[in-house]
Amino acid sequence: MIKVGILGYGNLGRGVEAAVTKSDDMELLAIYTRRDPKTVTVKTNTTVKSTADLDTGKEDIDVLVICGGSATDLPEMTPKYAKLYNVIDSFDTHARIPEHYTNVDNASKAAGKIGLISCGWDPGMFSLNRLYATSILPDGQAYTFWGKGVSQGHSDAIRRIEGVVDARQYTVPVEDALRRVRNGENPELSTREKHTRECYVVVEEGADKARIEKEIKEMPNYFSDYDTTVNFISEEELKKNHSGLPHGGSVIYTGETGFDGNKHVIEYSLNLDSNPEFTGAVLTAYARAIDRLNKEGVTGAKTVFDIAPAYLSPVSADELRAHFL
Amino acid sequence: MIKVGILGYGNLGRGVEAAVTKSDDMELLAIYTRRDPKTVTVKTNTTVKSTADLDTGKEDIDVLVICGGSATDLPEMTPKYAKLYNVIDSFDTHARIPEHYTNVDNASKAAGKIGLISCGWDPGMFSLNRLYATSILPDGQAYTFWGKGVSQGHSDAIRRIEGVVDARQYTVPVEDALRRVRNGENPELSTREKHTRECYVVVEEGADKARIEKEIKEMPNYFSDYDTTVNFISEEELKKNHSGLPHGGSVIYTGETGFDGNKHVIEYSLNLDSNPEFTGAVLTAYARAIDRLNKEGVTGAKTVFDIAPAYLSPVSADELRAHFL
């Protein structure tokens, strides 16, 4: 049995908890929290412990799944715990991946452990599909579309506006753009042409809706480059119709081969009821892989690009060849 | 530069020729044929040589791409040349993969080389997607649909009927089955419910069309389990509208996570103008991978399951992390 620890018990931590529970070859040893463990109630009967226990380096875990935020948690936590355990995270600040990789690589190598970073679906499964497609068809172009799905960052940004009680923001790919890409037209698409943003907003009684709508639509980076629609709804409606965290999207790659201009379209798409549960399931499969690789003597930082697919599966190599190939 | 040899110059060999030509880090050393090399004209200015040259084991190639048929060529050729070179094939008789693997593994290990078998899109990219999806969502189900595309085996089967001059058979996925699977209904689908078969047939003048249509539709294994339509057309029309070899299909995986029945759909689909050119492009990317792995000291038989994705790309690991993750 692979002994797994989870650090952090938000949506993603709960997703990993569920995925490990469903994996016959894994056992969930403990959930670690920075809060007082007594105040944290978990879904399964897993022990909740303090990060102080984790810091001793003596916890009997094969892989620690670090479920923190990319802005401040992971840049600090992953290198820290990579000195003690095999670790895996879902670091998703694309621009800072090289720096994060180097920090984790130094820590993991010194400890004789593996640190797998930026795992999930984007970065993660979408990255893999961009890599496979470009390697097969070097003469081509990759397009990534996200949604329809909830962007937590954008929802948070709306919540910070004065007069807003709660909000949910959906990123929606533009159908016409999808159609043109799938059609092999290789269009040049602006930010506005690829996605729209749909906002569902609950406001305080008497709030100035016109001002709030304007503030949302003109917010730089988040909304100003998009066609944005704002719907004001009641708190009840938000709870009833917008409490899930669905997401998904597509990597569409179009490329040419040969001397006669033959075209090919490769599409990988996800349609997810729960973004954190799916991401947790991806992290869990890769936790299995790095436990095995570390037992074979591999150390240092890794990404999904470095892991041979067979390592993700609990099924033997013979069975995989006989039934999955 | 990775020096590549191609054995066999049919449609697939031509596909590999084109793909190697488009790869900046590869050079095509020679195309080997069992025919008299003088009678073989190739698309590029590559040297054509006899398999007798290959048999010496002295050809200066890093990887030999074996482009033969799975029925009789590959079971004999791949183990034979695995004793001499790094080899790669597209062996696609699913039931005989374990036996083929063992034969190639013994030969490759003895030679200190790698033999990668069953590469292409199915087996190949489709297999990878079945494996990734099942590993991430163990509680789920995989569906594979093929087409719309030309099945060469079925086209050949029609050509063997008395009175038939030429034929082209398209495998077509049933739209309603696709819709139900994508919808997460997890349907049990019979062979007939998943695909239909469309035949375009050119017959001799005065041939008994009713008899030919009946023979096609009742042909066991090939057509009797499917809803088959037969269209009699002229030789000119066949040449004009049915001379390509398009193919494709989808691996659709539906699975659940968590304790609230959240559902997820993962779909990988291919839409290919040229089946042999795309397959040749996949073989070429994996040829790069096995050259590198062998230079690192890896030997023995491999499949796509055993190859970490980064090995397929000519781009450095740093660049991949910075731009593809």
> If you average pLDDT over residues B180-202, what whole number do you get?
96
Q: Are A192 and A186 in contact (CB under 8 A)?
A: no
Task: Identify how many contiguous H helices and E strands chain A contains and give both numbers.
Answer: 12, 14
- Alpha carbon distance A276, B266 (integer Å): 15
Contacts of B265 (CB under 8 A, 6+ apart): A269, A270, A271, A272, B182, B184, B252, B253, B254
Q: CB B161: neighbour CB atoms within 10 A? A: 17
**Tens of pLDDT, residues A90-142:** 999 989 999 999 999 999 999 999 999 999 999 999 999 999 999 999 999 99
Mutate to test the interface with B, among A26, A97, A117, A262 (most CBs of B within 10 A): A262
Q: Give the closest of B101, B263, B321 to A321, CB-based.
A: B101
In chain A, what residues touch B141 (CB-CB under 8 Å)?
A: none
Given CA atoms B279, B284, B290, B293 in this order, what sign does their dihedral have? negative
Neighbours of A154 (CB within 10 A): 23
Peptide bond into A38 cis (omega under 30): no
- Is the bond preceding A123 in cis, omega lying within 30 degrees of 0? yes
Give the H or E element holding residue B33: strand B26-33
CB interface of B with A, residues 265-294, below 8 Å: 265-274, 277-278, 280-282, 285, 288
The ipTM is 0.96
Picking from A123, A60, A41, the residue whose alpha carbon sits closest to that of residue A90 is: A123
Asked if residue B93 lies in contact with residue B71, where contact means CB atoms within 8 angstroms, the answer is yes
Q: Say whether residue B3 is in contact with chain A using an 8 A CB cutoff.
A: no
Average pLDDT of chain A?
A: 97
**Residues in chain B closer than 8 A to A266 (CB atoms):** 268-270
Secondary structure of residue A65 in the 3-state scheme: strand
Name the phi and psi angles at A155, rounded to 5: -60, -45
What percentage of chain A's residues is helix, strand, coil (to nearest 5)? 40, 30, 30
Question: Which of B135, B264, B293 is most worth mutating to test chain A (most A CB atoms within 10 A of its CB)?
Answer: B135
C-alpha angle B134/B126/B308, rounded to 5°?
75
Distance CA B312, CA B289 (A): 5
Other CB atoms within a 10 A radius of the CB of residue A182 amount to: 16
Residue A34: closest CA among A60, A54, A12: A54
Two tokens, residue B53: 């040259």
Residue of chain A nearest B324, judged by CA positions: A127
pLDDT digits (tens, 9 = 90+) for B257-310: 999 999 999 999 999 999 999 999 999 999 999 999 999 999 999 999 999 999
A153-180 pLDDT, tens digit each: 899 999 999 999 999 999 999 999 999 9
**Whole-number pLDDT of residue A23:** 96
pLDDT at A73: 95
Which distant-in-sequence residues (6+ apart) come within 8 Å of B66 by Cβ?
A: B7, B8, B73, B74, B77, B78, B81, B87, B88, B89
3-state secondary structure of A1: coil
Query: Does the distance separating the beta carbons of A272 and B139 come in below 8 Å?
Result: no
Of A18, A97, A138, the CB nearest to B325: A97
Cβ distance of A320 and B310 shorter than 8 Å: no
Interface of B with A in 149-168 (CB under 8 A): none
- Would you call B128 an interface residue with chain A, using a CB distance cutoff of 8 Å? yes
Please list, residue by residue across B203-238, b when 16 or more beta carbons sit within 10 angstroms of its beta carbon and e when fewer do.
Answer: beeebeeeebbebbbebeebbeebebebeebeeeeb
Cβ atoms < 10 Å from Cβ of A190: 9
Quick: pLDDT tens for A264-317: 999 999 999 999 999 999 999 999 999 999 999 999 999 999 999 999 999 999
* pLDDT 10s digits, B49-107: 999 999 999 999 999 999 999 999 999 999 999 999 999 999 999 899 999 999 999 99
| CB within 8 Å of A149: residues ≥ 6 apart | A170, A171, A245, A246, A247, A248, A249, A272, A275
A126: amino acid identity, one letter? F
A123 touching chain B per CB within 8 A: yes
Strand partners, A249: A146, A270
Q: How far is CA B107 from the centre of its chain?
A: 23
Orientation angle between helical segments B125-136 and A125-136, nearest 10 degrees: 170
Q: How many angstroms separate the CA atoms of B154 and B146, rounded?
A: 13
Place of tokens 């690192």: B296
> How far, rounded to the nearest angstrom, does the alpha carbon of residue B270 sit from its chain's CA centroid?
12
Using CB atoms, pick whichever of B257, B263, B285 lies closest to residue A135: B285
The DSSP string of A232-281 is E--HHHHHHHS-SB-EEEEEEEEEEETTTTEEEEEEEEEEESBHHHHHHH
Contact B309 A310 (CB under 8 A): no
Residue-wise pLDDT tens digits, B106-144: 999 999 999 999 999 999 999 999 999 999 999 999 999
State how far the Cα of B48 lies from the Cα of B54, in Å rounded to an integer: 11
Q: Are B253 and B137 in contact (CB under 8 A)?
A: yes
| Spatial CA neighbour of B111 closest among B249, B234, B290, B236 | B290
pLDDT digits (tens, 9 = 90+) for B222-258: 999 999 999 999 999 999 999 999 999 999 999 999 9
Q: Give the pLDDT score at B96.
A: 95
Name the nearest CA neighbour of A321 among B110, B106, B294, B302.
B302
What is the pLDDT at residue A32?
A: 98
**Structure tokens belonging to residue A305:** 């690009």
Selecting from A282, A305, A317 the residue whose C-beta is nearest the C-beta of B308 gives A305
- C-beta atoms of B135 and A272 within 8 A: no
CB pairs under 8 A between A and B: 207
Of B283, B252, B257, B279, the closest CA to residue B189 belongs to B252
Contact B135 A309 (CB under 8 A): yes
| Among chain B residues, CA nearest to A135 | B313
Pull the structure tokens for residue B96: 């005989």
Closest residue, chain A, to B90 (C-alpha)? A325
Tokens of A100: 């994060």
Distance of residue B42 Cα from the nearest chain A Cα, in angstroms: 13
Q: How many CB atoms lie within 10 A of CB A258?
A: 23
Alpha-carbon distance B201 to B238, whole Å? Answer: 8
Tell me the two tokens of residue B250.
């989808």
CB-CB under 8 Å, A132 with B128: yes
Predicted pLDDT at A172: 98
Cα–Cα distance measured from residue A148 to residue A151, given in angstroms and rounded to the nearest whole number: 9
Tell me if chain B has a CB within 8 Å of the CB of A94.
Answer: yes
Query: Tens of pLDDT along A216-264?
Result: 999 998 999 999 999 999 999 999 999 999 999 999 999 999 999 999 9
Strands A262-272 and B26-33: unpaired
**What's the pLDDT score for residue A273?**
97
pLDDT given at position B185: 92
